[in-house]
Amino acid sequence: MRALFTAALAAAAAHESLAQPLSSGDCPSSSFKSLTAQRWVKAAKPGWNIGNTLDALPDEGSWNNPRLQASTLDYVKAAGFKSVRLPVTYAEHYVTGSPSWTINATWLQRVSDVVDMATSKGLYVITNMHHDSWTWADVSKADANLTMIEEKFQASWMQIANKLRCKSELVAFEPINEPPGNNAEDGAKLMKLNDIFVKALVDTGGFNSKRVITLSGPGMGADKIQWFKAPANITNPWAFQFHFYNPYDFVFGAWGKTIWGSEADKAAVVAELSSVRGNFTNVPIVLGEYDASQLNTEPAARWKWFDHVLRTAQALDMLPMLWDNGLDNLDRATGKWRDQTAIDIMMHALAGRNNSLPDSTTDPAATVQVSSAYVFNKLGQTPGNQTLPFLLNGNTIRSLKIGSSTLSRGRDYSITGNSNITLHASFLAKYLSATAAPGTKANITVTFSSGAPSRVELVQWDVPKFASLSSAARDAPAGGDLSIPVEWRGLHRVAAVQVVKADGGYLFDDWTQWLGPLQKGRATYNNQWDFDHNRVIIRRAAIDAVIASGQNTTFRWEFYPRAEGNGNVVEYTLTV
C-alpha cells in the first residue's frame, strides 16, 4: 500500500515538475488556522453547489454552463451564501493509466484556480471527486475491478491533495460524491476508499492532516448510514455529509405529484433529517445537496418545502448547501435568481425569522389544485374577486406592490380574517379579461411584518396549441426523443402527463391507479417526458415502451391550472 502511495505521488510531482517536501514547512505558516469541524460548518452556513460545471463530462463547459467566472461567485456571496461546494469529475482528465493514473496538470491547475477564486472572496470551499463515482469507481457492480478502483482512487487523491495541500483552512475535502452501494458488503468497500482518502491527506503533507473533511455512507442518502464507519485513527476534523431530495415524487416530478405541505409531508422531512442527526449526535453534519427545481414544481408547494427543509436543518444544526445545475436557481449570465422568493425564504428561515407563505392544495385526494401563488383567468371569461389564503405564521400583511406601485387597500384589495387577501375584480380587470392575450400579465409582491416577501402571478390562460396531435411511434427519430412544437398560452410549463394505452391501462407504473385523481397513470418528468421554451418532448424510453406494448397510446399533457374537467389538457397519440 505504501509503495502505491509513493508511486502515485512521484508521478504527480514528475508531471508538474515539482519536488517539494511533503510537510507543512513548505507552506506559509500564516496561511492556515486550524478549525474544528463544528466551527467550519457553522462559518460556512449556508452553501451553494457549483453544479454541472467542473463536474461535467467530458470537460468544464460541456453541459449547460460556461466555464466558471468570478462574477458568478460574487452573485452567490451577495445572495448570502458563505460557502461553495466544488464538484469535480476527473474521469476524462487522466493522461496515463495504471499504476500512476496521472491527472492532466492543466486540469489540476484549473481546480486550484477555482478554489482560489472562491477563497479570495472569503467563501469556504468543499471540493471532491464527483461523477467518478459511477464512471469508474462503482464498487457495487458485479464485475467491479476493486484493485483498479482502489489504485486509481489512491493515485488520484495523492495528486489532488498534493496540489491543494497549502490551501487555507477555508478549504475542505470530500472523497467522492454519492458512491453507489446497496448492502453491507458494498459499504465495507466504500469505507476502504474513505481509509485510502484519509491516508492520502496524511501522506501529502502541507496542511492536509489538519484540514476539515466530510465523510459519508453509500449513496449519501439517509437510508444507508448504518454502513458508515469512520476511518480508524482519523486525525482530521470531520463532518458527516448526506444529501436530501425527498419526497422523490414531488422533487423529481414523478407520478403527477405537484402538491406538498401536509402535516404528513412535513413530518416525513423531520423524521428523515432527525434520523441522521440521531446517528451522529456529536458530529457536525453537512446537508451537501438539496433542491426542488422551479422547472418542475409548483411555486407555493416549492416554497413551503424550502421553508420546512431549511427550518428543520437549522434546528438540527446542519450546514445546508443548495444544489444548482445552472438551470434551477442562479442564471449565471445575468446574476439573477430564477426564483428569488425561494432564496429569500431560505435565508430568512436560516436566520430564524418566520416566513409567510401562499397556501395551496395538500390533499392527495383533491380533484382541483389551487395555489395562492397564482391568479388564473381563462380566455373568454371575466375575472371576479379572487381570494388568496396565506399561511402567515405569526406575521401580518404589510403591503402589495406591482413594481414600485403600491396597491391600495380597500380599492384594489381587502384583507379578511387577517390571512386572506381578496383581489378585487376592478383591479384584476386592468390585467385580465375575456379577451386579453394569454400569458403572465403582472407579478404582485406581498410583504409581511417579518420574513421573505411572497409573489402572486397574474396569468391569462388558454389551452396550449400543439403543432400536431399524433404520429407513428416508429417514425420518431432513431434512438432519439420526439419533440412536438407547442404554442404556450399561459404558463410556459407542463404540470403532468398521463399516459394511457388503447385498452385503458397505464403505460407506466400501473400501481398509480391507487393514487389520487391528479396522479393516476402519470409518468415521470425527464425520464419519460420533458419540455422546453417551445416544445414538449416524449422521451425515447416512453416511445420504446409504446412500441413494446403494441398499442396506440395517448399522452394527456396537463397544464396549470390543474383541475379535472377544466379542459387544460392536450391529448397526443402515438400509434403503432
Got the DSSP string for 331-346?
A: ETTTTEETTHHHHHHH
**The whole model's pTM is what?**
0.94
Residue 200 has pLDDT above 50, yes or no: yes
At residue 226's C-alpha, the angle toward residues 221 and 231, to 5°, is 95
CA 168 – CA 186 distance, rounded (Å): 34
pLDDT band at residue 54 under the 50/70/90 scheme: very high
Residue 30 has pLDDT above 90, yes or no: no
Sheet arrangement for strand 413-416: 357-358, 386-391, 420-423, 413-416
Residue 69 has pLDDT above 90, yes or no: yes
CA 428 – CA 381 distance, rounded (Å): 12
pLDDT band at residue 1 under the 50/70/90 scheme: very low
Calculate the average pLDDT of the chain: 95
Residue 22: per-residue pLDDT? 46
Sheet arrangement for strand 465-466: 465-466, 482-487, 535-538, 529-531
List phi, psi (to 5°) of 570: -120, 130
CA 522 – CA 520 distance, rounded (Å): 6
pLDDT tens digits for 84-133? Answer: 999 999 999 999 999 999 999 999 999 999 999 999 999 999 999 999 99
Residue 418: per-residue pLDDT? 86
pLDDT tens digits for 323-337? Answer: 999 999 999 999 999
| 8 A C-beta contact, residue 68 and residue 49 | no
pLDDT tens digits for 397-445? Answer: 999 999 999 999 999 999 999 899 999 999 999 999 999 999 999 999 9
A 10 A CB-CB count for 198 gives 25
Residue 175: per-residue pLDDT? 99
Residue 26: per-residue pLDDT? 84
Residue 447 has pLDDT above 50, yes or no: yes
Domains of the chain: 2-9+41-352 (3.20.20.80), 374-461 (2.60.40), 465-575 (no CATH)
Residue 233: per-residue pLDDT? 86
Residue 25: per-residue pLDDT? 61
Residue 19 has pLDDT above 50, yes or no: no
Cell numbers of 332, please? 449565471
pLDDT tens digits for 499-538? Answer: 999 999 999 999 999 999 999 999 999 999 999 999 999 9
Pick from 490, 492, 499, 488: nearest CA to 541: 499
pLDDT tens digits for 535-567? Answer: 999 999 999 999 999 999 999 999 999 999 999
pLDDT band at residue 82 under the 50/70/90 scheme: very high
Residue 24: per-residue pLDDT? 56
pLDDT band at residue 10 under the 50/70/90 scheme: very low
pLDDT band at residue 364 under the 50/70/90 scheme: very high
Residue 33: per-residue pLDDT? 95
Q: Taking the alpha carbons of 11, 17, 21, 24 in that order, is the dihedral positive or negative?
A: negative
Residue 7 CB-half CA count within 13 A: 14
* Cell numbers 399516459: residue: 499
More confident position, 19 or 184: 184
Cα→Cα distances 391→190, 371, 397, 458, Å: 45, 12, 11, 20
Residue 15 has pLDDT above 80, yes or no: no
pLDDT tens digits for 387-402? Answer: 999 999 999 999 999 9
Residue 3: per-residue pLDDT? 38
